[in-house]
Amino acid sequence: MKFHVLTIFPEIFRGPFEHGVIQRARQAGLVEIQIHDLRDWTHDRHRTVDDRPFGGGEGMLLKAEPVFEAVEAIWPERNERKRIVLLSAQGRTFHQETARRLSRYEELLLICGRYEGVDERVAEHLADEEISIGDFVLSGGELAAAVVIDAVARLQEGVLGNERSALMESFSENGLLDCPQYTRPADFRGWKAPEVLLSGDHEQIRIWRRSAALAKTARLRPDLLPEFEKRKSV
């Protein structure tokens, strides 16, 4: 799968994709990531990408012209295997389900908003969809784009070991959070790993894990419980 990112801060993307799973996927040719500098599609001496909002108001907006020109240069032809995503604070919230859906495109082009926002004609007449990664304020779409790319890229065939990919169907396989996990030492500063996990009794371990997952979900993500109860009864 190929990702394009359109940004005024291409340097931000040096780090995130040069480690771990995504780095390996790129080296294996499973994932390609191209970063494009929006300023390459400006024509004035100052390479202007922003301007003041009509009607007045705080701050500056990303101009439509360089964004349209860039997209039309990156993709002279559009088709249904390609998808343009605008990252903005006003977008629909990104979920695992969104990642799964986007993972089925051949190419994604992610437009990173900056300043107080982007001229609305980009959302209305260029982007296929507008996505936010959550209800908090970022300084721009770059970190959000990195999050989306990470979540989508790891779903590509072959990126994870196949043991894992079969289980990757949903955010939580059984409607609960993962159970708490421990590794050596069994006693760390007096805090002991649950004895049952060292017992070798796989039936007791299974029972403990399920109950611990339920307790942790109730404590940290009570919002997940109604859906879990619904699924359980089917």
Residue whose CB is less far from ligand 9D3, 26 or 95: 95
Q: Which stretch binds ligand 9D3 (CB under 6 A): 2-10, 14-22, 100-108, 128-136?
A: 128-136
- The correct pick among 134, 158, 185, 226 for binding ligand 9D3 (CB under 6 A) is 134
Query: Under 8 Å CB-to-CB from 174, ≥6 apart: which residues?
Result: 213, 228, 231
Question: Binding to ligand 9D3 by residue 217, rule CB under 6 A?
Answer: no
Please work out the total of residues on this chain that contact ligand 9D3, with binding judged by CB under 6 A: 15
Given a contact cutoff of 8 angstroms between Cβ atoms, the answer to whether 73 and 6 are in contact is no
CB of 112 to ligand 9D3, least distance (A): 7
66 binds ligand 9D3 (CB under 6 A): no
Interface with ligand 9D3, residue 67, by CB under 6 A: no
Please name the amino acid found at residue 52: R
Q: Which stretch binds ligand 9D3 (CB under 6 A): 44-52, 65-73, 133-141, 213-221?
A: 133-141
Stretch that binds ligand 9D3, among 41-49, 86-94, 99-107, 194-202 (CB under 6 A): 86-94
Member of 14, 45, 137, 183 binding ligand 9D3 (CB under 6 A): 137
Helices (DSSP H) in the chain: which residue ranges?
20-27, 64-74, 96-102, 120-125, 142-153, 162-167, 202-220, 225-232
DSSP character for 186? S
Q: Determine the distance from the C-alpha atom of residue 180 to the mean position of all C-alpha atoms in its chain, rounded to a whole number.
A: 24
Q: How far is CA 28 from the centre of its chain?
A: 21
Shortest Cβ distance from residue 220 to ligand 9D3 (Å)?
21
Least Cα distance to 141 among 26, 8, 3 occurs for: 8
Mention every residue, 6+ apart, whose C-beta is less than 8 A from residue 109. Answer: 3, 4, 5, 6, 71, 74, 75, 82, 83, 84, 85
Give Cβ neighbours of residue 223 (< 8 Å, ≥ 6 apart).
none
Residue 89 or 176: the one with the smaller Cβ distance to ligand 9D3 is 89
* Helix, strand, coil percentages in the chain from 3-state DSSP, rounded to 5: 40, 20, 40
Among 132, 149, 153, 197, binds ligand 9D3 (CB under 6 A): 132
Q: Which is nearer to ligand 9D3, 70 or 89 (CB)?
A: 89
Q: Could you list the residues that contact ligand 9D3 (CB under 6 A)?
A: 87-89, 113, 116-117, 132-134, 136-138, 140-141, 144
